[in-house]
Amino acid sequence: MSTLRLRGRAFGPGDYAIMAVVNRTPDSFFDRGATFGFRAALDAASRLIDEGADIVDIGGVKAGPGDDVDPAEEIRRVADLVAAVRARHPDVIISVDTWRSEVGEVVAEAGADLLNDTWGGVDPGLAEVAARHGVGLVCAHAGRVEPRTRPHRIAYADVVADVIDYTTGLAEKAVSAGVREDAVLIDPAHDFGKNTWHSLEISRRLDEMVATGWPVLVAVSNKDFVGETLGGLPVEERHAGTLATLAVSALQGARVFRVHDAASARATLDVVERLRA
């Protein structure tokens, strides 16, 4: 199993890294714009770091359908925040959630260490940006759908096999493009191009992804599949289901955990670590 290395830190097999979300969007499904303002976003990043986040993941575009956000507006939302977080927290790992190479170029120059491509390589230039700047890359499976769209009756013969084939293929292409092998992660991208059954199947069989040797990132925090599994719970009532899914993922060997609540995630993973000892 490979060791993940970002900004001088190493996360080997059995290590857990908390990736905390900061959304500079007015329409986030989770916080509904609470950190859209620059100062609110910067202070949220500091709070999450204090609560145990190893990585801060900054996003400027809502994942789901919504108002159009062009590259210039996305850059306006995230680039200055990346620079401010870097100035305030020189040692923290900064990730930016984007699928656009032009955004990746600007945020890498501003101090980002990782480009979190949740839409599965729709812009091949993003890997080239990561290679050129020596930063990491998340290779995700989004069901080959266009960014910010929801699939209609999507189906897979074997969703886990499809996820593994697609993400490892992207990872190998990224390394071939010059991205450092020890800075590449794979992400099944729960709910992206998938229904609830697909996301549950991935969670049950996550160890198959881990067995590929690539570090695995899971982003399950308060997602729809958690709410639907628990009988249709709204976003604000999915916390317990999120923590349960994090624990199951950690026991199977996931390495990085993208969450909204860094403190609870850290406590959950500390328990898992003791159980595994």
The arithmetic mean of pLDDT across residues 138-158, rounded, is 92
pLDDT digits (tens, 9 = 90+) for 67-106: 899 999 999 999 999 999 999 999 999 999 999 999 999 9
pLDDT of residue 208: 98
Does 28 have pLDDT greater than 90?
A: no
Does 32 have pLDDT greater than 80?
A: no
The residue type found at 115 is L
62: annotated active-site residue: no
pLDDT bucket at 30, cuts 50 / 70 / 90 = confident
Q: Which of 24, 205, 223, 266 is catalytic?
A: 223
Does 1 have pLDDT greater than 80?
A: no
**Residue 166: CB partners within 8 Å, gap ≥ 6?**
120, 141, 144
4-276 falls under which CATH superfamily? Dihydropteroate synthase-like (3.20.20.20)
Torsion sign (Cα): 232, 51, 207, 177: positive
223: annotated active-site residue: yes
Q: Which of 7, 205, 255, 258 is catalytic?
A: 258
pLDDT of residue 273: 93
Residue 93 CA to residue 235 CA, distance in Å, equals: 27
pLDDT of residue 211: 98
The arithmetic mean of pLDDT across residues 257-273, rounded, is 97
pLDDT bucket at 152, cuts 50 / 70 / 90 = confident
pLDDT of residue 276: 86
Question: Do residues 75 and 103 touch, judged by C-beta distance below 8 A?
Answer: yes
In the chain, where are the structural domains located? 4-276
pTM of structure: 0.96
